[in-house]
Structure 1
Amino acid sequence: MQFYHHPLSMNSQKVRLALEEKNIDYTAFRVNPLKARNLDAEFFRQNPNGTLPMLKIGAHVLCESLPILQHIDKLNEPLGEYKDYRERAEEWIKKIDEWDAKPFTLTHVPDRMIRFFGKFKRRVLIARMAKNPDLANKYHSKLNSMHAMEEQLKDTQAVDSNRKELVLMLDDAEHQLAGTEFMAGDVFSVADAAFIPVLARIELLKLSEEYLRPRPKLLDYWERMKCRPSYKKVIGGYSSQLKQLKLVVPSICNVGIRNVLKRF
């Protein structure tokens, strides 16, 4: 089992948490989207959306976090002891998947950083189209999706709607956690693996006071989840500002040099 991911990718974190909680053996390969490595032809041929994570099991490839989580949960015994827990967990992972974290994240990232990486990725896409004509249509679709996201970030109503969707999900979680220890019941399930990265992203963006502090059950849950070995291995090791800088700064330098040398 080969798992392609990046430590700061929320969807990658969801899958890695599930893999760690189930003690499933896998070989991890880091793909850095900041350096546009997800657009390299070898990766893109297997995953034309250029998204992370990607799971390969022999010749079988899964490219979206939701089907990957569903597949992993079917391996051996599913996370969560009882059938009703698993049904509730399925409802939660679908609800979490429906919320697009990217607009929420990017609205809290400096504009100059978005422009810096966005301009570089467009140049990479154009260069890849020229070098790989058989992938030109798929690269062009990726270029269109990048443009659509840029337009969405300019749409204040769309950004506010995305934020309200998150608030409703957090309110639902607060209500759920008033009656259970975990997201789908009294044991850890795939729903927790999917939800923990959402809370981690909120904390990473320094928005805990706004989104977590007013919800005491959710805040208590979050503190408990951060004590789990899976969290410490998958997310906790990159939670400090220094560790994040060690991930991001080399990418900025790499992109800057490639821009100067026009190596795309």
Structure 2
Amino acid sequence: MQLYHHPYSLDSQKVRLALEEKGIDYTSYHVNPITGKNMDSSFFRMNPSGELPVFKNGAHIIFSTIEIIQYIERIAIVSSGGDNIPFSGREVVDWMQKIQDWNPKFFTLSHIPEKYRFYVSKFIRRVVISRMAEYPDLAGAYHQKLREAYETEDKLKNQDVLRRSKEHLIRLLDEVETQLNEAEYVAGEEFSMADVMLIPVLARLVLLNLEDEYISSRPNIAKYWIWVQQRPSYKKVIGKYFDGWRRYKTLIKTWCFVRIRSMLKRY
């Protein structure tokens, strides 16, 4: 089994947390979307959307985050012989879908300083144009990604788009806060795949320095966040890259890569 992912990708974090929680071995391939590695032809031929993560088991390839996690659950059940490993029930799946319905893209980008965002956006567009010239058979798909990049920049100027994304997040967190008033975890008294879906969302808010506004202001979520950070899966998937000083190491490494490639005009 192979997983194409990256620590920056929120959906990748969800899938990796599921793999760690279920104890599933896999081969890891880092594909950094900020440096345009998801536009390399080998990856693009496998997934023309260029989105992460991609889960591959033999000839079976899955792109949907929830479908990947449910597939992982089935593997875990088969591997254990079905002993004491339940499959996510309806309530868990409903919460998974509810959390997945919030798209973090515009919210995240709107909280990144414009000069850095524009610089990276320009770099990625040049990567796409370069790949389009190198691989004319994929030109149509690359052109679609280029159009999406320009559309993203336009939408970031639209205050209604940003407001809707923020309001969606607030509604989700308020519902989670209410739920945690009744149960220890998102979908009940046991840690589940619903928690796997939520943890990266909270981690993203912390990375954007929004913890006080969105987490600490909600007592139940604040307590929950302290608990889940103690899990080995969190420490391996997220904490390793983003806790404390590590976030600066992770981000600076990528920023230097983009700057050097831009100066050398190597896309």
TM range (shorter): over 0.9
- Give the TM-score taking structure 2 as reference length: 0.93
Q: CA deviation at 1:241?
A: 4.6
> Residue 52 of structure 1 aligns with which residue?
52
> Residue 234 of structure 1 aligns with which residue?
237
**Deviates most, 218-227 or 237-246:** 237-246
- Give the TM-score taking structure 1 as reference length: 0.94
Matching residue within 163, 167, 187 for 2:166: 163
Structure 2 gaps, min length 5: none
> Residue 204 of structure 1 aligns with which residue?
207
> Residue 90 of structure 1 aligns with which residue?
93
Give per-residue Cα distances to partners, 1:240-261, cap 9 Å, x unaligned: 3531222222222222222222
Structure 1 gaps, min length 5: none
Q: 4+ residue stretches of structure 1 with deviation over 3 A?
A: 80-83
Q: CA deviation at 1:30?
A: 1.0
Give SS of 1:35's match: coil
Give SS of 2:34's match: helix
Letter in 1 for 2:115: R
Q: CA deviation at 1:64?
A: 2.8
Matching residue within 150, 155, 163 for 2:153: 150
Letter in 1 for 2:8: L
Q: Map 1:121-160 onto structure 2 (within 5 A).
A: 121-160=124-163
Give SS of 1:32's match: coil
Aligned residues: 262
Q: 1-side partners of 2:148 and 2:99: how far apart? A: 21
Instruction: Name which structure has the greater RCO, CA cutoff 8 Å, separation 6+.
Output: 1
Letter in 1 for 2:226: E
Q: CA deviation at 1:150?
A: 1.1
1:104 paired with 2:107, answer yes
1:225 paired with 2:231, answer no
Q: Is the 8 Å Cα contact of residues 242 and 250 (structure 2) preserved in structure 1?
A: no
1:7 paired with 2:7, answer yes
Q: CA deviation at 1:17?
A: 0.5
Give SS of 2:256's match: helix
Q: 1:244/1:214 Cα in 2 relative to 1: closer, same or farther (>3 Å)?
A: closer
Q: CA deviation at 1:161?
A: 0.8
Give per-residue Cα distances to partners, 1:114-167, cap 9 Å, x unaligned: 111111111111111111111111111111111121111111111011000000
Q: Is the 8 Å Cα contact of residues 52 and 64 (structure 1) preserved in structure 2?
A: no
> Residue 17 of structure 2 aligns with which residue?
17
The CA RMSD over aligned residues, in Å, is: 1.6
Q: 1-side partners of 2:23 and 2:86: how far apart? A: 19
Q: Map 1:182-201 onto structure 2 (within 5 A).
A: 182-201=185-204
Q: Is the 8 Å Cα contact of residues 51 and 64 (structure 1) preserved in structure 2?
A: no
Give identity over the alignment, percent.
45
1:30 paired with 2:23, answer no
Give SS of 2:216's match: coil
Q: 2-side partners of 1:241 and 1:224: how far apart? A: 17
Letter in 1 for 2:175: D
Matching residue within 249, 253, 258 for 2:252: 249
